[in-house]
C-alpha cells in the first residue's frame, strides 16, 4: 500500500458511521440470554467482555454467570443492525427506537436487560 492509498483508507475509516443496533450475550452452560443495545455494535462485545473480565459489570446476574461458567461458555451475537438510525440526528429518537427493538428481542428470548 503506497502513501496515497494509506491516506484514503484512513480517511474512509474515520468517516464511516458506527453500526447501531441490538445484541445478545448467551451462556451455553445455562441457556441464559441477556439483550442490550449499542450505538456501535462493532465495539459492543469488547466493552461487555472487558467489564466482565475486570469483574465490574453493571449486570450482576451476567457477572455471576461469567464467574461460575467462565468466558468460554459465552457468546456474543448481533441480533439487529438498525440502518435507519445511523443517519438520525436526534438522540431521543435513537434511544427510543433502540429501546423498542431491545424490548422485542428480550420478550422473544425471555432475556434479561443489558
Going by C-beta distance under 8 Å and a sequence separation of 6 or more, which residues neighbour residue 57? 48, 51, 63, 66
Helix H or strand E segment including 67:
helix 60-69
Cα distances (Å, whole numbers) of residue 20 to 40, 54, 95, 104:
5, 25, 10, 16
CB atoms near residue 95 (< 10 Å): 13
CB atoms near residue 101 (< 10 Å): 19
Cell of 112: 434479561
Say what the pLDDT of residue 14 is.
73
Cell of 94: 435513537
pLDDT, tens digit only, all 114 positions of the chain: 788 888 887 777 777 777 899 999 999 999 999 999 999 999 999 999 999 999 999 999 999 999 999 999 999 999 999 887 766 677 888 889 999 999 999 999 999 998
Cell of 70: 467462565
User: Which CATH number applies to 3-113: 3.40.1440.10, 1.10.10.10, 3.30.70.120, 3.40.630.20?
Assistant: 3.40.1440.10
> Is the pTM of the predicted complex or chain greater than 0.85?
no
Amino acid at each position: 500500500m503506497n502513501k496515497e492509498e494509506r491516506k484514503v483508507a484512513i480517511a474512509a475509516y474515520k468517516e464511516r458511521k458506527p453500526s447501531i443496533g441490538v445484541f445478545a450475550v448467551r451462556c451455553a452452560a445455562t441457556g441464559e440470554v441477556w439483550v442490550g443495545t449499542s450505538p456501535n455494535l462493532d465495539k459492543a462485545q469488547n466493552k461487555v467482555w472487558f467489564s466482565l473480565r475486570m469483574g465490574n459489570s453493571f449486570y450482576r446476574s451476567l457477572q455471576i454467570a461469567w464467574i461460575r461458567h467462565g468466558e468460554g461458555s459465552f457468546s456474543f451475537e448481533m441480533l439487529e443492525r438498525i440502518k435507519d438510525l445511523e443517519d438520525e440526528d436526534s438522540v431521543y429518537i435513537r434511544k427510543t427506537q433502540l429501546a423498542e427493538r431491545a424490548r422485542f428481542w428480550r420478550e422473544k428470548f425471555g432475556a434479561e436487560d443489558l
